[in-house]
Amino acid sequence: MAAPISEGFPASEPGAAPYGNFPNYSRFHPPEGRVSLLPDGLLRSLFPEEARPLLGLDVGCNSGELSVALYRHLLGLQESKSSPEQPAAGKDLHLLCCDIDPVLIERARQRSPFPASISFVSLDIMDSRARESLLGSYLGRFGRSTFDIVFCMSVTMWIHLNHGDSGLVEFLSLLSSLCAYLLIEPQPWKCYRAAARRLRKLGRNDLDHFRSLAISGDMAARITQILTKDCAMELVCCFGNTSWDRSLLLFKCSGSTRKSRESPGQGQ
């Protein structure tokens, strides 16, 4: 197994994860803080006439707690149920969940209660060759070329810090090309400053791109602008903010032929 990306940093130090691959992330940002904002029956409202299994991609899944919570919520499953044989949502969902850290992925695999429906893989999403091979292989199993929905929860800052403005735009363009719907939770700018401060305390310099970033300020607004102006997506709604002040935004590919019969939430 490959070494974790955070190797060489103390596991207890929150700044020890320069790619956001915190080993105990769900303890300080619990999954319930996101899924509680999502309405019941979301899949049914987004895909009312879709009979085939729905495919989802969770980018930056960490050790999988949020992935599993999303799966349960979207299918209307209770914690006590171990099988999605008759999901209340009336849909069948398969999730591919990826993270840059292979140790976190192995932990997710060991703990997953739905191994037949949720696949965890180690992937640097910005590595085009590895990405195309892995995603293409997964989609090909279902005879598909894109996912129905992509989840991107608190990942954009890490892409931005490690790959710069152009990397963020490339990443958002990639996500928009992969799906009909995108559920995204951008980190606010104050999180960028906190991340750089934590790294300095560890004796590291600021992440290479931090001081040169031109895309800054209201990151939810800036990311919305990129997705709508440059990536041909439409903002469907904002489900509100988590207790740690991050917006949960749902976008739809403008070219998608899938139309929901009713809005799953209040428009922003």
35-61, pLDDT tens digit by residue? 999 999 999 999 998 778 999 999 999
| Residue 12 pLDDT greater than 70, yes or no | no
Instruction: Specify the pLDDT at position 120.
Output: 98
Share of the chain above pLDDT 90, in %: 67
Instruction: Specify the pLDDT at position 144.
Output: 96
Q: Whose structure tokens read 């590919």? A: 253
55-78+86-147 and 154-268: identical CATH topology: yes
Which SS3 state, helix, strand or coil, does residue 248 take? strand
| Residue 258 pLDDT greater than 50, yes or no | no
The CA–CA distances, whole Å, from 54 to 43, 75, 117, 216, 221 equal: 9, 11, 11, 35, 29
Distance of alpha carbon 146 from the chain centroid = 16
Instruction: Specify the pLDDT at position 6.
Output: 44
* Extents of the domains making up the chain: 55-78+86-147, 154-268
Instruction: Specify the pLDDT at position 199.
Output: 76
Instruction: Specify the pLDDT at position 182.
Output: 98
Instruction: Specify the pLDDT at position 88.
Output: 45
| Residue 87 pLDDT greater than 70, yes or no | no
- CATH number, domain 55-78+86-147: 3.40.50.150
Instruction: Specify the pLDDT at position 257.
Output: 42
Size of the chain in residues: 268
Instruction: Specify the pLDDT at position 268.
Output: 36
Cβ contacts of residue 234 below 8 Å, gap of 6+? 228, 251, 252, 253, 254
Question: What is the C-alpha to C-alpha distance for residues 15 and 196, in angstroms, rounded to an integer?
Answer: 9
Question: What is the C-alpha to C-alpha distance for residues 63 and 73, in angstroms, rounded to an integer?
Answer: 18
Global pTM value: 0.85
| Residue 97 pLDDT greater than 90, yes or no | yes
Average pLDDT along the chain: 84
Topology at the third CATH level for domain 154-268: Rossmann fold (3.40.50)
Question: What is the C-alpha to C-alpha distance for residues 31 and 248, in angstroms, rounded to an integer?
Answer: 13
Question: What is the C-alpha to C-alpha distance for residues 22 and 108, in angstroms, rounded to an integer?
Answer: 13
| Residue 224 pLDDT greater than 70, yes or no | yes
Contact 100/21 with Cβ under 8 angstroms? yes
Question: What is the C-alpha to C-alpha distance for residues 264 and 89, in angstroms, rounded to an integer?
Answer: 14
User: Higher pLDDT residue, 126 or 199?
Assistant: 126
How many helices (DSSP H) and strands (DSSP E) are in the chain? 9, 7
Which SS3 state, helix, strand or coil, does residue 252 take? strand
Instruction: Specify the pLDDT at position 49.
Output: 84
Contact 205/252 with Cβ under 8 angstroms? no
